Amino acid sequence: MDYAIDHWSKRLLESRKPAYLLIPDLVEEDLAAGRLKPRDRLPGLRDLASALNLNYTTVARAYAEARRRGLLDTRAGSGTFVRGPTRTVPLSGGSSVEMSMNMPPEPPEMARRLQESAAALFKAADPYQLLRYQDFGGTPADRAAGRTWLANRLPGCSGDAVLVCPGIHSALVALVSRLARRGDSICVDSLAYPGIKAIASQLGVQLQPLPRDDDGPLPHAFESLCRAGQPAALYCNPTLQNPSTVTIPFRRREALADVAMRYNVPIIEDDAYAMLPQSAPPPLALLAPELTYYVTGMSKNLGAGLRIAYLLAPTAREAQRIAGALRATTVMPSPFTMLLSTEWINDGTANDMLTAIRSEAHARQAIACRVLGAWPFDTHPDGFHLWLPIPRESSWGASDLAQHLRSRSVAAVASSAFSTDGNPPAAIRICLGGPQDREQCRDGLQLVADALTDAHHLYSAAM
């Protein structure tokens, strides 16, 4: 440290830069040169001020600036230590490590097949047909493909009641606008997909949060709300729930369906992740088919840009009514994405892609277990997102942790984004599918682990 003091004194005399800004620069330079190492202890404020012939306030400002840059860590009663340069993940194309949007990983081995398949498909297609208005709710061929896809979860579903929609979110807009009027209420989990919160707010619909346990929303709470006043619908995301990763078990599904049937409450079953698990309980649409509007799609099972969803209504008549709502809000799905979805379902590409995504998800889950093994988190082996409760002994709040990670170029989502009861748990959601490859996934998760390990972040930031 004596060498550093001599070096700093010389540089301070030579430079016109304010000392409180130059000292952090010198710390950073010495770290890069190896003259300082992480965990090295620096002199106290008065000692350094005396050694450099500076006043106390200037050195205090210099240490504060160095802490702001992530170079120093002040520990009450212990002193000031070198923290090292802030670790960040290298940016790709100007973007961060995307762990906030819940999207499937991209299996590298499928890229060429998708490219060749799409090229051959568009080469053979009639371009003017693709540029025309399409049948509302999909052509007969598109609906047949949708029925084939839905049959993975709903064997024997009626083709007349199937609609093709431009993504699950658009289907939910149509369903909420069809089933609820302004001022009506919809029952939801106390943790729910942020999109349903936005849709309800836009349409003037109230959300009635249901308390939950480890198996999902509580049926007795649902029944209490049904008794108090008829809700317009029950919205649920029963398989690999976003964000908690919970898959509602069969008995809980039965209980929720039973309440809905006794009080004649329609069910909006958002089964976005339904195809990912290799085994899952039967959908609510099989338990209460006369009340359930079942929606699943391709964006969580193939790629986020494939905005195609399939909606199964209770009856063909209800399907036509929903088609009217879709026509008013989104007109029709893109003919190009419909063409891709239909072809990939029919030729087996969709199922092969799903298998490859599961395999890649398994690999990334294994990385998460290694990197975050010290902190229990909730997940599903076939899924690609984690729900990470923040340890009680940590002084991080969920929003603070998410903001901190974003400053390190890692995007995660705090629990408040999902809370419908105003009482979010201390947790964040991390998507493993967003990083471009396993190495980037590992780097992003390591930054999460680093943040959870750093017990002095709040004190340092406050200084």
164: phi then psi, degrees, rounded to nearest 5: -95, 130
220: domain range? 134-347
DSSP letter, residue 191: B
182 domain-assigned: yes
pLDDT digits (tens, 9 = 90+) for 221-275: 999 999 998 899 999 999 999 999 999 999 999 999 999 999 999 999 999 999 9
Strands 185-189 and 233-236: parallel
Same domain, 388 and 450: yes
Tell me, rounded to whole angstroms, the distance of Cα 234 from its chain centroid.
23
Residue 461: CB atoms within 10 Å: 12
Q: How many alpha carbons fall within 13 Å on the CB side of residue 109?
A: 10
114 domain-assigned: no
Same domain, 340 and 358: no
Same domain, 287 and 151: yes
Strands 267-270 and 427-431: unpaired
Same domain, 182 and 229: yes
> What are the CA-CA distances from residue 18 to residues 54, 92, 253 (Å)?
11, 35, 66
> What are the CA-CA distances from residue 199 to residues 193, 417, 418 (Å)?
10, 14, 13
Same domain, 276 and 203: yes
pLDDT at 305: 87
How far is the C-alpha of 187 from the C-alpha of 308, rounded, in Å? 26
Cβ–Cβ < 8 Å for 297, 167: yes
pLDDT at 314: 96
Alpha helix ranges (H) inside 269-334: 284-287, 316-329
Same domain, 189 and 330: yes
Q: Which residues contact 245 (CB under 8 A, 6 or more apart)?
A: 378, 379, 380, 383, 385, 386, 387
DSSP reduced 3-state for 294: strand
For residue 210, the cross-strand partners are: 189
Last residue of a domain, one of 289, 317, 347: 347
**Both tokens assigned to 221:** 């709470």
Same domain, 341 and 361: no
Residue 273: CB atoms within 10 Å: 26
pLDDT at 98: 66
177 domain-assigned: yes
Cβ–Cβ < 8 Å for 186, 232: yes
Same domain, 236 and 253: yes
Using the CB atoms, write b or e for 360-386: b if 16+ within 10 Å: bbeebbebbeebbeeeebbbbebbbbb
Same domain, 356 and 343: no
Between helix 111-124 and helix 349-371 the angle, nearest 10°, is: 150
Domain count across the chain: 3
250 domain-assigned: yes
Same domain, 141 and 177: yes
DSSP reduced 3-state for 359: helix
How far is the C-alpha of 342 from the C-alpha of 340, rounded, in Å? 6
Same domain, 290 and 202: yes
CATH number of the domain that 216 lies in?
3.40.640.10
pLDDT digits (tens, 9 = 90+) for 87-132: 444 444 444 566 777 888 888 888 888 888 888 888 888 888 888 8
25 domain-assigned: yes
DSSP letter, residue 10: H
What secondary structure does DSSP assign to 385-397, as a single string? EEEEEPPTT----
Same domain, 307 and 420: no
For 228: left if phi > 0, alpha if psi spans -120 to 50, otherwise beta; the answer is alpha
pLDDT-flagged residues of the chain (< 50) = 85-95, 455-463
Cβ–Cβ < 8 Å for 243, 429: yes
pLDDT at 208: 96
How far is the C-alpha of 412 from the C-alpha of 417, rounded, in Å? 11
Last residue of a domain, one of 290, 314, 347: 347
Cis peptide before 43 (omega within 30 of 0): no
pLDDT at 427: 96
How far is the C-alpha of 308 from the C-alpha of 126, rounded, in Å? 20
